[in-house]
Amino acid sequence: MNLLHHGKMTKAGMNVLPAEWTKENLEKDQTRRRTIADCVDGVLVERRKFLVEKRRDDDDADPGLIEVPGGHVGPDESVEDALRREMKEELGINVRKATLVQKSLYTASNGERQRIHYFQVERWNGRIRSTEAERVYWESEISNLSIAPDRKAVRKILRSDPLAVSR
């Protein structure tokens, strides 16, 4: 797929680089930082507490931060399929019902720009366990989340469901 059109780098109909930049004078790292990676995050809520992960200190992006679990959407994968896969890989659960809550833009500590699709995971089965993060646990304080888009998504879910009892 040719991403250059009239001297501009494009992706999904959006110009992501200035017109004077061309493919020849860009390094791969610069290109990666300028594009936006689609990601999914799954917000699980029980009794007004929400599931978070503490990222490992050796993670490439956002080491040690407290975040909502999730990951990248793969090539030719829908966001719904990515959510199911990521929740299985990261938490060991099978998503039975999830609803898109919001989309947010975020720049990770490694410079990667992300479009995060936040889902409320309303029903799941399986025993939650941490398979990739340092640990996962139930949190009750939104302010303990490290990134603003996570706080916004969780706040939105808790406001829309006063009982906030999932499962």
| Model confidence at 32: pLDDT above 90 | no
Instruction: Calculate the average pLDDT of the chain.
Output: 84
The residue ranges of DSSP E strands in 47-112, in sequence order, are 49-54, 66-67, 70-72, 94-107
pLDDT value for 79: 98
- Sequence-ordered alpha helix ranges (H) in the chain: 28-34, 79-91, 148-160
pLDDT value for 160: 84
| pLDDT tens track for 35-87 | 999 999 999 999 989 999 999 999 999 999 999 999 999 999 999 999 999 99
pLDDT value for 167: 40
Q: What is the DSSP letter of 154?
A: H
Residues 27, 104 contacting (CB under 8 angstroms): no
- The pTM (predicted TM-score) of the whole model is 0.77
User: Domain boundaries in the chain?
Assistant: 1-34, 36-160
pLDDT value for 34: 66
pLDDT value for 31: 47
Model confidence band, residue 95 (pLDDT cutoffs 50, 70, 90): very high
pLDDT value for 103: 98
Query: CB count, 10 Å around CB of 88?
Result: 15
Q: Is 3.90.79.10 the CATH number for 36-160?
A: yes
pLDDT value for 162: 56
| Model confidence at 4: pLDDT above 90 | no
Average pLDDT over residues 110-133: 96
| Model confidence at 16: pLDDT above 90 | no
Average pLDDT over residues 118-136: 96
Residues 41, 150 contacting (CB under 8 angstroms): yes
